[in-house]
Amino acid sequence: MKNIRKKILAIILSAIVAFSMPTALAVDAYYNLPLDAGNHHRFSGGGSHRSSRSRSRSRSHTTTGGSSSGDNLDDVGAIILCASIFIIFISLVIYFVKSPSTSSRKAKTYKNIPPMFPYNATEQITEFIKQNDENFDTEKFLSWAKKVFIALQAAWTERDWEKIRTLEKEELFEQHNIQLQEFIRLGRINVMDNIQIIDAYLHKFGIDENYEHLIVSLRATMNDYIIDEKSGKVIAGDKYEVFDTIYQMTFTRRKGIKTNIVKGRIVSICPHCGAEVESSSAGKCQYCGSVIHSGEFNWVLSNLESVDENFVDDTRGVVFINN
């Protein structure tokens, strides 16, 4: 009985390997991508996932005429074997469909619990900024930062990075856009949905010779997985896995710039026509059509990282950076 079970298991494993090779190769293609705006999570299997190839032995028959009886017997044996595999496969499908474990997979599972929470220096930073920028409002700024985060995830999923042109510094925008084009080339869509922002606060404020850098610690949960563009099938990750992550969002603006708030909105002033342009706009002045790089006139995202076990906390709050 044990030998029969081993043979059945061997057949099942062979079938699984054969069916899983295309998906495994697709996952390998994903893990060869550079880190990007969407890839802050490692899916089940991680970067060590590698496709495996099963080796089969074949026999060649030499004949001098028509097909031999041995060939016929081999054909019959092959048919029986294929039929057996098909029956076993159908049985397994029926079993797992009826199995309670299938329904339990629909329950959310949480991954990537934050290893630590960066220092909260909101009060200290707010007091310092307001000495030179009396219009700075921490609550409004954090509300805007959350909208920026949501906008980034939406643009990444929609594979339309042009939407967030005014939200990112030029260098970061180009870097992310190049990486997104690689997803498009491979026919992959990185889906980021069911985003819930749990908390956001000011972590660090740095000042150098020309710019101010304000780091926001933002904690969010979301589903993060990759699907094939044509088939819509999930090729990496799991729709029901919920990632819990803390992001470090660095916003930069030129030194001496003051906050412009109009009717509760943080706005930029177009340097070309003087019109008010909302910072969450599509990247162009709606009046003159000029592309606005808001880092020169308002806050713009210059870096986006996630907190992992190697993160080094900084409790200074306000830091003067020597160039």
Q: Which of 173, 153, 169, 161 is nearest to 222 (CA)?
A: 153
If you ran DSSP here, which 8-state letter would residue 35 be given? P
Q: Which residues of the chain have pLDDT under 70?
A: 1-108, 110-112, 261-269, 271, 274, 277-284, 291-297, 323
CA dihedral 271→277→278→279, nearest 10 degrees, is -30
If you ran DSSP here, which 8-state letter would residue 205 be given? E
* Segment (H or E) for 31: helix 2-31
Query: What would the pLDDT profile of 170-182 be if each residue is shown by its tens digit?
Result: 899 999 999 999 9
Say whether pTM exceeds 0.85: no
Domains of the chain: 2-32+43-52+67-104 (no CATH), 112-320 (3.10.450.240)
- Dihedral sign from CA coordinates of 276, 281, 283, 284: negative
- No. of H helices and E strands in the chain? 6, 10
Q: Which ranges in 159-278 belong to alpha helices (H)?
A: 170-186
Which pLDDT score is estimated for 7? Answer: 56
Residue 172 tokens, joined: 């970061």
Rounded to whole angstroms, the Cα distance separating 204 from 190 reads 30
Which pLDDT score is estimated for 253? Answer: 92
Contacts of 259 (CB under 8 A, 6+ apart): 133, 135, 136, 137, 141, 266, 298
